[in-house]
Amino acid sequence: MHESASFQRARSSEAKAVRERAILDAARTLAAERSIRAITLTDIAEEVGMHKSALLRYFETREEIFLRLTADGWREWTPVLCERLSGASRPSEVADAFATTLGARGLLCDLFAQTPMNLERNVSVEAVRTYKLTSGEHLGVISAAARRALPGLSDDAARDLVAVAVSVAGTFWQISTPPPEIAALYRDDPRLGHALIEFEPRLRRILTAYLDGSLALA
């Protein structure tokens, strides 16, 4: 496939930014349709209308693309969550804010699961540095909002809350959204009922228990 005329090599920083955003948007579109694990660099190139070799001028690997999307996910999620936390004053309400906002962001949960396992392992050191600075900044903003909602929560406990929410959400999203044939297996075999997980209620219970325990220890 030849690179389309609209994607001739960018000659300025502004044009390069436009190309990069188009690639990221294409990857996001594909990820909304199927698991990140199933998406290749060739898939993304075809979605955006570029040859794979042309795409590599802008991103070194597919992992770099999805790591950028994870950073974008933090930027979009943080203000929404903080707005919800501004109206919370009990552990259950804080837990609900995390569970519902993450439950509405399946792609972000998928990205959270893939980040430590894959996305940070096939990119440059600078790409990891950039991502970690972004996620660290937003972790601080969210933990501060959690402390305002629950003043008895220590700074460490608030940061741990965010870490628990992100890591558990990533894992539970994978478990709660199996392929259709596996979901049918779980539903049809009574012995496998324990494998059926409702994402938001389970995450809400775990975060509430964590907060109750942290406040009791404080």
Domain holding 48: CATH number?
Answer: 1.10.10
Per-residue pLDDT at 197:
85
**Residues 46, 72 within the same domain:** no
Residues 74 and 47 grouped into a single domain: no
**Rounded to an integer, what distance in angstroms lies between the CA atom of residue 25 and that of residue 49?**
12
Q: Say whether both 17 and 108 belong to one domain.
A: no
95-109-34 Cα angle (round to 5): 145
Per-residue pLDDT at 3 exceeds 70: no
Both 128 and 107 in a single domain? yes
State what percent of residues in the chain have pLDDT above 70.
Answer: 95
Give the model's confidence band at 2: pLDDT under 50 very low, under 70 low, under 90 confident, else very high: very low
Number of domains the chain is built from: 2
Final residue in a domain of this structure, among 32, 59, 86:
59
6 has pLDDT over 50: no
Q: Are 11 and 105 members of one domain?
A: no
Q: Picking from 5-14, 17-26, 59-68, 154-163, which range would have the lowest pLDDT averaged per residue?
A: 5-14
End-to-end CA distance of the chain: 62
Q: What is the pLDDT of residues 74-132, one digit of tens each?
A: 999 999 999 999 999 999 999 999 999 999 999 999 999 999 999 999 999 999 999 99
- The domain boundary, picked from 24, 43, 59, lies at 59
Pair of tokens at residue 201: 């209620």
Same-domain status, 38 and 121? no
One domain, residues 79 and 129: yes
- Nearest-angstrom CA–CA distance, 27 and 110: 13
Domain boundary among 42, 59, 76: 59
Binning pLDDT at 50, 70 and 90, where does residue 13 land?
confident
35 — pLDDT class (breaks 50, 70, 90): confident
Q: What CATH number corresponds to the domain at position 185?
A: 1.10.357.10
167 lies in the same domain as 80: yes
41-64: per-residue pLDDT in tens?
Answer: 999 999 999 999 999 999 999 999
Does 78 share its domain with 18? no
Q: What does the pLDDT average to over 167-175? A: 94
Per the structure, the complete domain to which residue 104 belongs is given by 61-217
48 and 67, same domain (yes or no): no
Residues 119 and 173 occupy one common structural domain: yes
* pTM given for the model: 0.89
Same domain, 27 and 70: no
Provide the pLDDT for residue 9.
57
Provide the mean pLDDT of the chain.
92
Cβ within 8 Å of residue 217, ≥6 positions away: none
